[in-house]
Amino acid sequence: MGLSGRLHITSRNADIVSETITSLVSGCRAIPTKGSDIIDYQGDFIGWSDFALGEASTASGFALETTAYGERMICAVSAKGHLVYAGQGRELVTGSGEVVIADSQSIETARFSENYAQYFVTTSMRSIEGYVREHFGKANRSFSGSCAVLPRTHLAAVSLSGFTPLINMLLAEKELLKLSPITMRRCQDAFLEIIASSLSANGVFLGRKNDPLSSSRNLREAEDFMRQHAREPIGVAEVAQAVGISVRSLQLAYKRYTGITPLARLQRFRLEGLHADLDAGLAENVRTAAAAWGFVSGARLNRQYLEAFGETPADTVKRVTR
């Protein structure tokens, strides 16, 4: 993990709060807002590469003053209380159930109310811009300076209805997540899609590539590549690159010939790979074997596995070891 694996802080020290948030977003100074030097703050974070997610809360409330700007995009879902972002001559206020998506360059101060709580994801502008080029085409204008408040329902409409439950699950499974680079990649792609699509809906209009005609041959090549590399942390972008077409062309090919998404097909190959390992007695235990194939949530895996093979992963292990 790139972010020291785990950070869980309960602090009354403004300097510790400043250092923690600086490591996640950009240089900042924490300032108590109740006329004392006390900041009551809790945070639980996980991060890898240039990507981080987590939850944070404060009982006392405090402000952050930017001291050094980083080139990062922040997506924060307010669960309780309200947050005020100020910068570039304007203020944005987000309350419970609302989402703020902002370029860190546009934020001069952030003020958190008493008893505030949020879920957040942050990644570099480089990652956002690369994702947009690969999946949407060239943006008509820069994301730099973007800052908007959206209703939480917008996230569900974009791509990921289980935004906060997913973060909770990943925070609870930190140690298992280290064994699952596939899950890390899927999580990162999901949040990049949320941020890119939300920016598009808010006026950063995205162009589309001139896609070549998709064909059944493209589909066969994609299937072969996914079978061979299913255990690796690949995404749809790598599959499209291997076939020699754009991501959109690959998606259109799957829609035209199968009615499912390429990601759903890749997940099926991974499920079949896990089944093959368990059926051959190659796994020490279900939990670590599932993580290696990109499955962290036991309940969801059990449902998918039972539907596909008529038994649970534990049933397969019991049958093989009799």
Higher per-residue confidence, 310 vs 103: 310
C-beta atoms surrounding 252 within 10 Å: 16
Q: Percentages helix, strand, coil for the chain, rounded to the nearest 5?
A: 45, 25, 30
Domains of the chain from N-terminus onward:
7-201 (2.60.120.10), 216-321 (1.10.10.60)
CA gap 180, 46 in Å, rounded: 14
CA gap 95, 70 in Å, rounded: 25
- Contact assessment for residue 63 and residue 108, using Cβ atoms and an 8 Å cutoff: no
Write the pLDDT tens digit of every residue in 186-245: 888 877 877 777 666 655 544 444 455 567 788 899 999 999 999 999 999 999 999 988
The model's pTM is: 0.74
Write the pLDDT tens digit of every residue in 261-278: 999 999 999 999 999 999
Torsion of CA 37, 43, 48, 51, to 10 degrees: -80
CA gap 55, 58 in Å, rounded: 11
Helix H or strand E segment including 274? helix 262-279
Query: Please, which residues have CB within 8 angstroms of residue 204's CB and are 6 or more apart in sequence?
Result: 139, 140, 141, 143, 146
- Percentage of the chain exceeding pLDDT 70: 83
CA gap 276, 198 in Å, rounded: 39
CA dist list (Å): 287 to 79, 181, 295, 305, 312: 31, 14, 9, 13, 12
Q: What is the DSSP letter of 166?
A: H
Q: Where are the beta strands (DSSP E) in the chain?
A: 7-11, 27-32, 41-48, 51-58, 62-68, 72-80, 83-87, 90-94, 98-103, 109-112, 116-124, 147-151
Q: Where are the beta strands (DSSP E) in 184-263?
A: none
